[in-house]
């Protein structure tokens, strides 16, 4: 049975899940990984969701304030053997609920062209593609999305 908890970036299960995420991204992104890694530090993230199946941590995601009224979705990950079960969608929905409770009205995010599963998740979750923002402007491998809450 799936169980979600709200925590922060100090949580040991989140830290471990992010290690696996970073290893997977390093493999997918190759030489471009160092560029993206600089924007994916997890210290001081206040809003983290960790997913558990049968008490085992299987996935995570986070949000952080990007600008007034807007949060950025960060560090979405589900272990490969648990993918295809809707876990990422449930983590994302919980992050969106939390953002709305905190009075944010929009979520934005960046993902890579080499992550088609992530792109499919965001489209299925009613995110719209937007021009690449901030540090991702002009980066060919980046794809940015937004969703109004």
Structure tokens at 58: 């299987």
**In the predicted model, is pLDDT for residue 38 greater than 80?**
no
Fold classification of 2-148 is Aminopeptidase (3.40.630)
CA–CA separation, 138 and 75 (whole Å): 22
Asked whether 108 and 133 are in contact (CB, 8 A), the reply is yes
Q: Where are the domains of the chain?
A: 2-148
Number of H helices, E strands in the chain: 4, 7
Entry pTM? 0.91
pLDDT, one tens digit per residue, over 41-98 is: 666 899 999 999 999 999 999 999 999 999 999 999 999 999 999 999 999 999 999 9
Structure tokens at 143: 């794809």
pLDDT, one tens digit per residue, over 121-135 is: 999 999 999 999 998
């Amino acid at each position: 049975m799936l169980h979600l908890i709200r925590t922060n970036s100090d949580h040991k299960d989140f830290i471990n899940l992010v290690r696996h995420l970073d290893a997977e991204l390093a493999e997918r992104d190759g030489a471009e990984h160092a560029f993206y890694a600089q924007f994916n530090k997890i210290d001081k993230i206040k809003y983290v969701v960790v997913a558990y199946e049968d008490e085992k941590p299987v996935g995570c995601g986070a949000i952080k304030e990007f600008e007034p009224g807007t949060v950025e979705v960060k560090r979405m990950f589900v272990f490969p053997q648990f993918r295809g079960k809707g876990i990422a969608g449930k983590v994302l929905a919980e992050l969106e609920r939390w953002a709305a409770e905190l009075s944010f009205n929009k979520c934005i995010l960046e993902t890579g062209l080499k992550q088609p599963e992530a792109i499919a998740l965001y489209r299925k979750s009613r995110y719209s593609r937007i021009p690449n923002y901030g540090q991702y402007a002009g980066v060919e491998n980046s794809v940015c999305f937004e969703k109004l809450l």
